[in-house]
Amino acid sequence: MLDATQRLLEAGESFTELGVQRIAEEADVARSSFYAHFADKTELLLALARRLSLIAYDAHDRWNPAGDEALPDLVDGFVAIVSHYRLHASILAAVLEVAAYDRAVSRFWDDQLSLFRERACSWLETEQTGGRTSPALDPGVAARIVVDGGMRIIADHVVNGAAGDDGRVARELALIWWHGAYRRP
């Protein structure tokens, strides 16, 4: 049912307008089978969103801001994240669509971003302690700005932007993170 829903979303269906019966038909199962696995469409969307977030989090996890190749690695990490979301743009669009009116999806998405915020804050604190970024930097606020702002531009770009610009967007995002927070004078 997850794959069937993804196919329908990729074909241009709106998640809000997508009915359980249509999902069941696409999955070639009875409607009752849907409810045997999911309480409702929101639960199904959350299952799709979990798959979406794990790979992006793993790409983010591999980066080391103190490494010798930190900036090129950050660019590569953003290229991987943008590419991943590009492949799953329809799911990302559905999550953002539903998060606007469904509290459970909104909370889930914020919880996913908080994992990135916490890691970025920890990295920034370490960089600050190591003297590699400004002592005036507020790690918590900076982490929120770079993560939430970064996710907003990634989401907008993969849903509305040209795939040919993915590398440029990833590079600029990495440079903004790097010079705006991680190596702020």
pLDDT reported for residue 111:
93
Residue 21 has pLDDT above 80, yes or no: yes
Measured CA to CA, the distance from residue 151 to residue 116 in angstroms comes to 10
Specify the CATH number of the domain 1-38: 1.10.10
Least confident of 37-46, 62-71, 159-168: 62-71
Choose which CATH entry (1.20.120.80, 3.40.50.720, 1.20.1050.10, 1.10.357.10) describes domain 49-182: 1.10.357.10
In this prediction the pTM is 0.86
| pLDDT digit string, tens, across residues 47-75 | 998 888 777 777 777 788 988 899 999 99
Nearest one of 107, 137, 143 to 122, comparing CA atoms: 143
Which residue spans of the chain are classified as CATH 1.10.10? 1-38
Q: Would you say residue 160 has pLDDT above 90?
A: yes
Question: Which residue, among 87, 107, 78, has the nearest Cα to 159 in the 3D structure?
Answer: 87
Judge whether 35 and 24 are in contact, CB under 8 Å.
no
Rounded Cα distance between 122 and 130, Å, is 12
Domain limits, CATH 1.10.357.10, in the chain: 49-182
Judge whether residue 118 has pLDDT over 90: yes
Q: What is the enclosing helix (H) or strand (E) of 146?
A: helix 139-160
